[in-house]
Amino acid sequence: MTESELDLLSINTIRTLSMDAVQAANSGHPGTPMALAPVVYELWNRVMSFDPQDPIWPNRDRFVLSCGHASMLLYSMLHLTKTQSVNPKYEAIGTPTVSIDDIKKFRQLDSRCAGHPEYRWTSGVETTTGPLGQGLATSVGMAIARRWLAGHFNKPGFTVYDYDIYALAGDGCLMEGVAAEAASLAGHLGLAELCWIYDNNKITIEGDTHLAFSEDVATRFIGYGWNVTRVGDANDLEMLARAYKTFQKTTDRPTLIIVDSHIGYGSRKQDTHSVHGSPLGEDEIKYVKRAYGWPEDAKFLVPDGVYDHFAQGIGARSAAARAAWQTMLGAYAKEYPALAEEQKLMQKRELPTGWDKDFPTYKADAKGLSGRTASGQVLNALAKNVPWLIGGSADLAPSTLTRLTFEGAGDFSAHETGRNLHYGIREHAMAAAMNGIALSKVRNYGSGFFVFADYCRPPIRLASIMEIPVIHIFTHDSIGVGEDGPTHQPIEHLASLRAIPGLIVLRPGDANEVVEAWRLIAGIKHHPVVLVLSRQDMPTLDRTKYGAASGLTKGAYILADAEGGKPDVILMATGTEVSLVLAAHEKLTAAGVKSRVVSMPSWELFEEQDEAYRDMVLPPEINARIAVEFASSFGWERYTGRRGKIIAMKTFGASAPLKELQTKFGFHPDQIVSTAKSLITASGSSGK
């Protein structure tokens, strides 16, 4: 069989596997995999350096399927290349990541072939995709990480990192605002490691793109500072090869390859929209297979020679590249042992010795300092000793205090590979790029005002699904923002983020809780974290008098207690409100009322504790409970119970100094004391 015949046989195998899988599931999108099979085939088998025997090889090329509905494209490639599964210990376990049985169970429970590609579930999937545009923006983070890795680790004669990132997208991805933000950032940074492939098929769910999308995409990307090239026919392997070479030769900017395709290639259906979003039907599949010269009744057929063709292509080429890289790395380790050790620790998300040696301990201080101030100091102490911790903000580092200021930290730009990133006013793209950086095993953080967490929610949610340790730092955490008014005062944001499974939300109540929050964050490997910090000062608590700040690691802990440890009322709070309930506690104690103060910086961590601990902190028999938070009351019922009270926000805030807002909305120690006494009376306890 000639090379061109093997090419076509392999391409049609991708197409027919996709058709059969979608038909068997009676669900999915067959059109895009059918149309783009040549594009992906040429990229994988002739261009990409990706070793199926080691799909987590650090210097592999990355492939991101931003149009995640075309997932059978990726699953077909992972199956045909015999990509191996890797377990959570980063070990190949000798089984294929996508078997033919997985493909037969496409979109079914426990199949490795979920409806949209899922990172961590299927080896070889570089990021979870589905929400359009997210894959593109995540790929920008991957390119930032690749640039930073090369700048940090590469040395003369030793190229540790030089991989490329390819992302495949459709019209829907390019319409999403996050893709525009990300493309603008990538062009500004000159990320030549990045190649987006745009499937210009002119079809979306509602029909032809003329309904809502008529811009000149090429001119738009030229304006972003990208190199743009075009392939007029998705089936033209020669032109595709030329386009990929153009990308590889471009060294000063990212590349967009516009590929013109016809969705559902080979189908006789006139309604291309239906081909895009639903199974073809058995009769149509038989027609298409006849057009391909395929046995029309054969299902999930991989003809003789196809597996071998991929093994001799991407398999042999990439195995040789990986072997050469590993040999080089051995020599590198002798020449640069410290950097080699960093590379090893980073890949396994481990921490170096002495990572927390410079963490401060704050003395008791009635004035104290803001959460953002303490965090900035601890962050710098941590980053100084964890060289692969990088990050930035959406143009707010002077306010979030997240700039790394120690000697050598530097800036990341088109010409520098320092550790301070500048995302511009692009919160959505920042959060998605953070996922891409974390997926590249580089630890990173991003920051902004808490109210703008709304712009970051889709990537935060994806980070939780993927179980990756991104760090979101949000300051200006409450109505404490004051004069900026309700547009800048986050009310519902704590509740909405607490609702995301797997996300750890931390709102520390003084500077030493901030230290403990960072100590916890540094060691987290499989959860994204949101660190919520105040703009205003918080008293630094006297830890010889009150509970140790290390209690933060359990999510909630007893900060102050009644004599004998048998309170009549429990006062709960987070963040700046902890000092309010402590003041109320002191007043109650002076009045002979037995109260307990519980600092609750993280509901999620508290819920992870065993029942005995939770009952010790919040004894079930005590019904008199008060929760205080400068945010929505939503959710606090689980801790106050029906008989408790919640002093929180039931409206948006207002524009005024904080003290006036506290008076207006009832956040005052005397209000807490009054509420506590009424609850004790209602519960039948004397309070003595």
Say how far apart CA 379 and CA 420 lie, in whole Å.
12
Q: Residue 334: CB partners within 8 Å, gap ≥ 6?
A: none
Q: How far apart (Å, rounded) are the C-alpha atoms in residues 368 and 527?
A: 30
Q: Is 299 in contact with 18 (CB distance < 8 Å)?
A: no
- Say if CB 408 and CB 416 are below 8 A apart: no
Cα Rg, the chain, nearest whole Å: 28
Distance CA 347, CA 58 (A): 8
Integer Cα distance of 368 and 541 in angstroms: 8
Q: Are strands 443-449 and 595-599 parallel, antiparallel or unpaired?
A: unpaired
- Between the CA atoms of 439, 445, 449 and 450, what dihedral angle is there, to the nearest 10 degrees? 60
Collapsed DSSP state (helix, strand, coil) of residue 227 = strand
* Whole-number Cα distances in Å, 570 to 598, 627, 640: 7, 8, 9
Residue indicated by tokens 């392999």:
10
CA 209/CA 226 separation, integer angstroms: 23
CA distances for 323 relative to 84, 93, 162, 662, angstroms: 17, 19, 15, 64
CA distances from 452 to 426, 462, 522, 592 (A): 10, 17, 24, 44
Task: Compute CA distances 166 → 104, 137, 359, 442, 602, whole Å.
Answer: 27, 12, 40, 19, 38
Residue of 126, 176, 284, 427 marked active site: 427
Do 600 and 631 contact (CB within 8 A), yes or no? Answer: no
Helices (H) and strands (E) in the chain, counts: 26, 22
Q: Look up 467 and say whether it is catalytic.
A: no
**Residue 63 β-bridge partners:** 166
Q: Quickly list H helices, 293-426.
A: 306-310, 316-335, 337-347, 371-385, 397-400
DSSP per position, 524-591: -SS--EEEE--SSEEEEP-TTTS--GGGGGGS-EEEE--GGG--SEEEEE-TTHHHHHHHHHHHHHHT
Angle, helices 177-189 vs 134-153, to 10°: value is 20
Phi, psi of 243, deg, nearest 5: -65, -40
For 165, list phi and psi in degrees, rounded to 5.
Answer: -125, 125
First to last CA, the chain: 93
CA-based angle 220:225:226, to the nearest 5? Answer: 80
- Could you list the active site residues? 427
